[in-house]
């Protein structure tokens, strides 16, 4: 059973290790979504300090993470979102260690974030995912996210990242 809790600073090393393992796994599959610049240890440290990062544990071992907050990054300003910019939850850095992938843990992490949005009266959940990652795009579409536009992160790739939104009712 997956237990999800707010990340602590003592989780920083394992979270970074999970991200690196995911990056290597994606690169092996010719998916150049994460690299040496992103996500960085400092980004995860900020997530933890801001109390925006959650970890998933199996038998007290961290195997996954997800970051979410109400902060809208400037890169999203030109996206034609479904809902106005008030009370929206943004998801970033969902990762499941490759050893534990394809077992439903990403879905459980997303369920947790979406439930958080519902309990806290958010209007929608927003995220982006790499256009060249077919598995991620299929995953979010299967969860009823609607693709709305693209953003670019030049330090990560020349390919776009698709922006998705799901209304919370």
**Domain with 158 in it:** 3-167
The 3-state DSSP composition of the chain as helix, strand, coil percent (nearest 5) reads 35, 30, 35
Q: What is the pTM of this model?
A: 0.95
- In this predicted model, what pLDDT tens digit does every residue of 51-104 receive, in sequence order? 999 999 999 999 999 999 999 999 999 999 998 898 999 999 999 999 999 999
Question: Which CATH number is 119's domain given?
Answer: 3.40.630.30
- In this predicted model, what pLDDT tens digit does every residue of 101-141 receive, in sequence order? 999 999 999 999 999 999 999 999 999 999 999 999 999 99
Tally of domains within the chain: 1
Helix (H) or strand (E) holding 108: helix 105-119
């Amino acid at each position: 059973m997956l237990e999800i809790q707010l990340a602590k600073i003592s989780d920083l090393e394992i979270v970074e290790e999970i991200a690196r393992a995911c990056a290597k796994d994606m690169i092996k599959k010719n998916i150049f979504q994460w690299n040496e610049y992103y996500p960085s240890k400092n980004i995860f440290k900020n997530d933890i300090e801001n109390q925006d990062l959650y970890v998933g544990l199996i038998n007290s071992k961290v195997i996954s993470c997800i970051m979410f907050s109400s902060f809208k990054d400037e890169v999203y300003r030109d996206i034609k979102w479904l809902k106005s910019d008030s009370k929206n939850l943004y998801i970033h850095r969902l990762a499941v260690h490759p050893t534990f992938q394809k077992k439903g843990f990403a879905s459980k992490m997303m369920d947790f974030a979406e439930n958080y949005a519902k309990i806290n009266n958010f209007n929608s959940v927003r995220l982006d995912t790499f256009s060249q990652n077919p598995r991620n795009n299929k995953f979010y579409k299967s969860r009823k996210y609607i693709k709305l536009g693209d953003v670019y992160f030049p330090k990560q790739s020349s390919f776009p990242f698709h922006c998705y939104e799901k209304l919370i009712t």
